[in-house]
Amino acid sequence: MSRRTACLGLLAFLVSSGAARAAEPLAAAIDRLTAQVAPKVVAWRRDFHQNPELSNRETRTAARVAEHLRSLGLEVKAGVAHTGVVAVLKGGKPGPVVALRADMDALPVTEEVDLPFASKVKAEYGGQPVGVMHACGHDAHTAMLMGVAEVLAGLRQDLPGTVVFLFQPAEEGAPPGEEGGAALMVAEGALANPAPEAIFGLHVVPMVAAGEVAFRSGGQLAASDRLHILVHGRQTHGGMPWEGIDPVVTAAEIVVALQAIPARQVNQLKGPSVVTVGVIKGGVRNNIVPEEVEMWGTIRSFDPGVRGELHERVRRTAEGIAAAAGARAEVTIDQGNPVTYNDPALTRRMAPTLERVAGAGKVMETLPVTWAEDFAVYQQKIPGFFFFLGIRPPGQKVEEAAPNHSPRFAIDENALPLGVRAMANLAVDYLSGKAR
């Protein structure tokens, strides 16, 4: 090693060490500022919970977010991907750029939780009147990131770099015929000017206790594809089914056969996979064999090769069974979210931050989860780290906690300050070069 190379290496080490030491007082300041903003975070979360909005319709939520961010002196751009909000906080010191993301949309679910701020909102979804509820916790995600923005704005002069805040609509999927979500956010420049080097996000889950966090390096959440199968038969009298071609029986055979694909036909050692049919629709009367039956379902996977193989086998199985019955099956598979993939190098670097913030014994490694998240779209562009924030109250067993998307889904709000501290510390530690 030359003397010049050694000097440059020493200089880089000193700069990195100095930046890491600079992050220590910022961590204490984050704790102090989080304690101050915590009541606001709870109030925001309750307001959003009481006034939920469906995907691509988050106008009130976005307006409240943008108003708050502007009050902090951030550069704010609204109307991104329909109702999204992008805000930029420039620190007082030079450094890299990092992004933090929260989703804002609610679900077509009628709330069954007895809360003073329970949702009574009604809307239309898929042509049907529905209740609207934050049954997946996006109200908490939005409120926490608003809190993070206030905390980091309070550290502006000592912040070594830039933070981009992404408040995203339509994580649950845009309405039919519309674009939306992370893909449209990216297409409309959410990761440009300034361009983040990395992105962080979280999701509240009842499978983890309040006060704890969980994550997984590599594939954490599954790729998700939408399946539609239309079985064409030939209508006839139900008392003489041999005079027609029964698409109901054919559809039933297809559903059963599809279950054997992940169980027996693809290599599960490459990662879990699931094929589920969630809707079957056909017929209008008990004594008529209908002309057609429609099925809708989902395909989940963690390996790109397995994903392609599943598509091929599902198509071949449905078409083959239909042909054997004299029917015809039209199979459509719409590719959805990719795998939510935590960059291993970024995960190794930032895991100590979560361990420091949550405390000893409060950070766990999770198994792969077959939900899907469009946070994965950002991770395809830049390294990303996504983790779970526990919201199950003390004393409640996992099997007693209502899952995400349930009308009985509930959040222990005592968990919210940890989410604020975790996201703020991840941003500061990354910008400071900590744990490199």
Any idea which residue has 């905390």 for tokens?
Answer: 151
Per the CB < 8 A criterion, the answer to whether 74 and 144 are in contact is: no
Report the b/e string of 273-301 with b at 16+ CB within 10 A: bbbebeebebbeeeeebbbbbebebbbbb
Any idea which residue has 């440059």 for tokens?
Answer: 8
Per the CB < 8 A criterion, the answer to whether 152 and 428 are in contact is: yes
Any idea which residue has 């933070």 for tokens?
Answer: 163
Measured distance CA(95)–CA(432) in Å, rounded: 8
Is 171 among the residues known to form the active site? yes
- Cβ-based neighbour number of residue 335 at 10 Å: 12
For the chain, report the end-to-end CA distance as a whole number of angstroms. 22
Per the CB < 8 A criterion, the answer to whether 270 and 302 are in contact is: yes
Catalytic residue among 53, 58, 103, 105: 105
Per the CB < 8 A criterion, the answer to whether 189 and 166 are in contact is: no
Per the CB < 8 A criterion, the answer to whether 258 and 196 are in contact is: no
* Count of residues in the chain: 436
Catalytic residue among 111, 171, 253, 292: 171
Measured distance CA(405)–CA(379) in Å, rounded: 24
Is 47 among the residues known to form the active site? no
Provide the CA 181 distance to its chain's centre, in angstroms: 10
Which residues are known catalytic residues? 105, 171
